[in-house]
Structure 1
Amino acid sequence: EFQTLNAFTQDTFGGNPAVIVFLQDTLPDDVLKKINDNFNQPIVVYVSPPKPGSTAYGLRWFSPWNEVNICGHGTHITTLEFHSKSGRLTARRVPDKIRIELPAGTTVPASAEETRVIEDVFFRALGKSRAGASVIRYAGFGGPGFKNYLLVEVDVGEELATWQPKVQHFAELAPRTQILVVTSASRKEGIACETRIFAPVLGVPEDHVCGSAHCLNGPYWARKAEAQRAADGLASGNYANGRPQHAKVVSRRGGDLWVRYFADIQRIQLDGNVKVVSTGTLDL
């Protein structure tokens, strides 16, 4: 059996599409890849029964090009406990959403020279002159588990939703960077940040909504919120202890996530809606 769903949205035409396939038996990888080709979706999630002595289901994610180690929106469409290449993951229902728990990531600030290279790529992608002011407020490379990610905060005045970048230029950041997470503070009440995610080197010009990107994005904005409160002489806002922040992805399809960061255990929780689009049975 399979279901096609949109993660992090209530809209039939929003969020990030994914297919979940419930396997009764293990299938060879070449068959899984052929099923992928038939669906032609950003991600296909294969759920296999628990192994003897375990209560955790098996979970594998396949993009149209290869198997991936972790996929936030592909986990979000399920409500089970899993073993995966990224360890034990959980997805469960909360009152009106689905909640997934993922490892929290860290970023390592780019050096001055690395930042200049990143700025040059951004200027080319946005069609801007180097004579203009830099749009970058922070650039940091992903730490353990997220080595191929780059998180870049741009000025709030950039209005990310209106960007029409020449995405191919972001591929110039490879091989170190394969997934580019561009984020900014939001001017909208109740929204902590707005984000877009690009991965042209992986064959994904823009990811509609990326859950794993918020393994970096969530902790980053939680730390910023706490730092701002400290600078203002205020007590902790508990942003590093599970206080939710609303993160909005402003791609064409768009999506909404509520992120909780737990610094003591280095985990995050992502809450969001799931829209079921279709269901069916595979005749293999």
Structure 2
Amino acid sequence: MARPQVTFDFFQANAFSDRAFGGNPATILFLDEPLADQVLENINKNFNQPIVVFVSPPKPGTTKKPGVATFGLRWFGPQNGEVQICGHGTLAATGAIFQRLPPAKNIRTLEFQTLSGLITATRADDGKICMDLPAGTTIPATQQETESVRAAFCLALKKPTVALQYVAHGGPGFEQYLFVEVPVSEELAKWTVDSQPLLAFSPRTHIVVVTSASADPAIAYETRMFAPKLGVLEDHACGSAHCLNAPFWAAKHQRPSDFEQHARSVSMRSGDIWATHIQEEDKVRVRGDVKITASGILRLDLADM
């Protein structure tokens, strides 16, 4: 006799790319009702992706708005379970939801209830997904901390020295981030990184964002993100990194609040991100492509729930 099962729709998508083998992959799973955290973690490990996003109905009592659909959103990483925020996962989930929504509903805006508050996303006429994330600040590291970071990167890159222009910790809401600016001469895209030395950073540092100006005048800045403590050697195109990158580069280049910067993730898969620091709203507006690469049905026995 067949065992009773429940089924869930899922999508596989690449964020910040319109290519099948570009950008940052994510799995998006649609839930009709909340599941126990351990079940979510088991599903997450089964998919074994850079991020697994669980989309659920909104909280009871959520007010309905014309043209707006509201969902709950949770992100799970490959090693340490649930994470506070994931930009590329949110972008990918938005693309999957718009793929799934009937056109007759005339929904143009999505609202996500998350651990990091309410996140809003829309789809532009050109098909790109646009979302608002909280803007972050950076707090300059001490000289001693800077030299420790330099030493770690020398080991990670197997180089006698590494030029660092600015080293900082993430401010409120981004305390787990280390922010590092290097000069164009470091050729960030060519870095081959051994992640082991990066584990030596302080216990609070889980995410390392490295950024550089670009030799390409059409690109405002380049970026890479490493998170070995989270089980991610490198995040192919990190959305939340631009919560720090966009305000930093907008200030450095003296850009007005509504100026959109074209950034490039120079990882192996690469990705293109358009980011705007909206100062008066303390937000970063991130825009990019989503490429849906697969869809299917996950089947679970009730006994496994």
Same fold (TM > 0.5) = yes
Q: CA deviation at 1:176?
A: 2.8
> Is the 2:78–2:232 Cα contact (8 Å) retained in structure 1?
no
AA partner of residue 128 (structure 1): K
> Is the 1:119–1:136 Cα contact (8 Å) retained in structure 2?
yes
> Is the 1:24–1:49 Cα contact (8 Å) retained in structure 2?
yes
Residue of structure 1 in register with 2:280 after alignment: 264
> Is the 1:168–1:205 Cα contact (8 Å) retained in structure 2?
no
Residue of structure 2 in register with 1:21 after alignment: 29
Residue of structure 2 in register with 1:73 after alignment: 88
Residue 200 in 1 paired to residue 228 in 2?
yes
- Contiguous gaps of at least 5 residues in structure 1: 227-236
Residue of structure 2 in register with 1:104 after alignment: 135
> Is the 2:275–2:286 Cα contact (8 Å) retained in structure 1?
yes
Q: Please give the secondary structure, in 1, of the residue aligned with 2:18.
A: coil
Counterpart Cα distance in 1 of 2:199 and 2:220: 28
Counterpart Cα distance in 1 of 2:149 and 2:60: 49
> Is the 2:77–2:230 Cα contact (8 Å) retained in structure 1?
no
Counterpart Cα distance in 2 of 1:197 and 1:82: 24
Which of 104, 125, 128 is the aligned partner of 1:95?
125
Q: CA deviation at 1:260?
A: 0.5
- Regions of 4+ moved over 6 Å: none
Counterpart Cα distance in 2 of 1:38 and 1:141: 33
- Contiguous gaps of at least 5 residues in structure 2: 1-8, 65-69, 95-109, 301-305
Counterpart Cα distance in 2 of 1:17 and 1:138: 30
Q: Which moved more, 1:31-40 or 1:142-151?
A: 31-40
Task: Note the 1:1-284 alignment, pairs <5 A.
Answer: 1-54=9-62, 55=64, 56-65=70-79, 66-79=81-94, 80-96=110-126, 97-129=128-160, 132=161, 134-226=162-254, 237-238=255-256, 241-284=257-300
AA partner of residue 274 (structure 2): W
Counterpart Cα distance in 2 of 1:122 and 1:100: 32
Q: CA deviation at 1:95?
A: 2.1
Q: Please give the secondary structure, in 1, of the residue aligned with 2:205.
A: coil
Q: CA deviation at 1:68?
A: 0.4
Between the two proteins, the alignment pairs up a number of residues equal to 269
AA partner of residue 199 (structure 1): A
TM-score by length of 1: 0.92
Q: CA deviation at 1:111?
A: 1.1
